[in-house]
């Protein structure tokens, strides 16, 4: 039975992109939730008589201003990081190709040693290295992966990754503020914000579980623990300063 390699590669590529977007969602979403809830928790902790005295408008103004400013910063940071990684990879790969062209014997010895370290027997590693010296493009790709630990980023789109990070930051980061859009700023509103934040962190944990296939308890627990710790610190600082 023949295999449609074009369709197979397309399917594998789509799966990889979905996982990559999930990584951006978790990355931006976690920071968005923690950053915005830090505003709410900080205001709550700073009130000697409780969260009821917090002005709802103040929470929303500071929360939304911080949400959008940090979302733009996160998105642009992801974009610049992706561009820098792509430029670095291309520069390093061009240097590796020059070394292969100028000193193929030395590069063959390096590849031979790498292949032996990765489990090939001496004769197979030597033969493979000799063959690949006649195919410098493939050899450079292998050296980039095994010698420098760098993977080809050309299939990534820094602009798309930056936008996904920005969007995830906004969507998840808005969750702690939702109760303050709907209700007056009372103790109950703050408790609802805490529950909403916990629910958003749990959702991110589920996305991590879906993307990585790791144990459900671990992925959800880690995500909620990290977010909860940051929120508790924000509340404690507000209580110390304002109390």
What is the per-residue pLDDT for 25? 85
* Average pLDDT per 10 consecutive residues for the chain, totaling 243 residues: 47 54 82 86 64 64 89 92 88 89 87 86 87 87 84 81 93 92 83 91 86 83 85 76 60
Nearest to 145 by CA among 107, 105, 93, 102: 93
How far is 113 from 128, CA to CA, in rounded Å? 11
What is the per-residue pLDDT for 6? 44
Residue 200 contacts residue 26 (beta carbons within 8 Å): no
What is the per-residue pLDDT for 144? 87
Give the tokens for residue 159.
């602009």
How far is 8 from 229, CA to CA, in rounded Å? 43
CA 206 to chain centre: 15
What is the per-residue pLDDT for 148? 82
Q: Which residue, chain included where needed, has tokens 């020059």? A: 98
50: left (phi over 0), alpha (psi -120 to 50) or beta: left
What is the per-residue pLDDT for 205? 87
């Amino acid at each position: 039975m023949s295999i449609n390699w074009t369709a197979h590669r397309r399917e594998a590529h789509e799966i990889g992109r979905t996982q990559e977007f999930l990584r951006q969602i978790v990355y931006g979403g976690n920071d968005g939730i923690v950053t915005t809830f830090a505003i709410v928790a900080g205001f709550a902790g700073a009130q000697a008589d409780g969260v009821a005295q917090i002005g709802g408008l103040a929470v929303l103004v500071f929360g939304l201003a911080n949400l959008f400013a940090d979302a733009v910063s996160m998105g642009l940071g992801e974009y610049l990081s992706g561009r820098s990684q792509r430029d670095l990879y291309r520069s390093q790969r061009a240097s590796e190709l020059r070394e292969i062209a100028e000193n193929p014997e030395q590069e063959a010895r390096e590849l031979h040693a790498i292949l032996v370290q990765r489990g090939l027997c001496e004769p197979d590693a030597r033969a493979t290295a000799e063959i690949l010296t006649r195919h410098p493009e493939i050899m450079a790709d292998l050296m980039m992966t095994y010698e420098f630990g760098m993977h080809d980023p050309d299939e990534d789109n820094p602009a798309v990754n930056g936008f996904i990070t920005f969007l995830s930051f906004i969507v998840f980061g808005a969750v702690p503020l939702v109760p303050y859009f709907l209700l007056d700023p009372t103790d109950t509103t703050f408790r609802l914000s805490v529950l909403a934040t916990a629910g958003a962190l749990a959702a991110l944990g589920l996305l991590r579980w879906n993307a990585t296939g790791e144990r459900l308890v671990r992925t959800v627990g880690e995500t909620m623990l990290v977010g909860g710790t940051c929120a508790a610190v924000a509340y404690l600082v507000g209580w110390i300063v304002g109390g």
